[in-house]
Amino acid sequence: MTHGTMLEPGAGRPIVGGGLNATLKIAGGSDAITSTFEVIVPPGYDVGAHYHTHGEELFYVVSGQVELFAFEPAIRSKTHWSMWVSRDGRSPLHAGPGSLMHVPAGCPHAFRNTTDEPAVMLFQAAPAGHEDYFEELAKLMAGSRGQLDPDEVAKLRLRHDVHQITTLASPN
């Protein structure tokens, strides 16, 4: 007989460090093809524009406000990704509760919190295993004291099929 998973609020495996605050709700593996997280996005956090050659992601804003981006820009300029525009005129979305972003493999994307309040997002990654990236990133951020080494972040991301376009910014 197959059973699903039911979790009480707050349940799951915490992944925290250096401003990263996520709870792994469902780990990928034999029972799940995706990893599912609740992520608290602190003020000032910017994941940086990036893409995955094999991964697909889904972000759902539960509370707060974030800026979301998921398209190929007309020009990958040196300006911040929030200034990018697609060939068909799309620009990043100022997103509140109920907003959703689906990211297919190969699509540049990012999110950031420019407000003074934390935001909460439900996040799914397929294939499963993104929890390994989050755990390594949390350790790196915890040891950085707010000064992330861009080379270390780039190495970590490449190990996990995260191809960085712009820089990750942790909160001050």
Residue-wise pLDDT for 35-48, tens only, equals 999 999 999 989 89
Q: What percent of the chain has pLDDT over 70?
A: 95
- Whole-model pTM? 0.89
The answer as to whether 171 is a domain residue is no
Token pair of 85, please?
């525009």
Total number of domains in the chain:
1
Q: How confident is the model at residue 164, as a pLDDT?
A: 87
Residue-wise pLDDT for 53-88, tens only, equals 998 999 999 999 999 999 999 999 888 999 999 999
Domain that holds residue 154: 14-78+96-164
User: Pairing relation of β-strands 100-103 and 109-112?
Assistant: unpaired
Q: How distant is the alpha carbon of residue 93 from its chain centre?
A: 15
Question: CATH code at 39?
Answer: 2.60.120.10
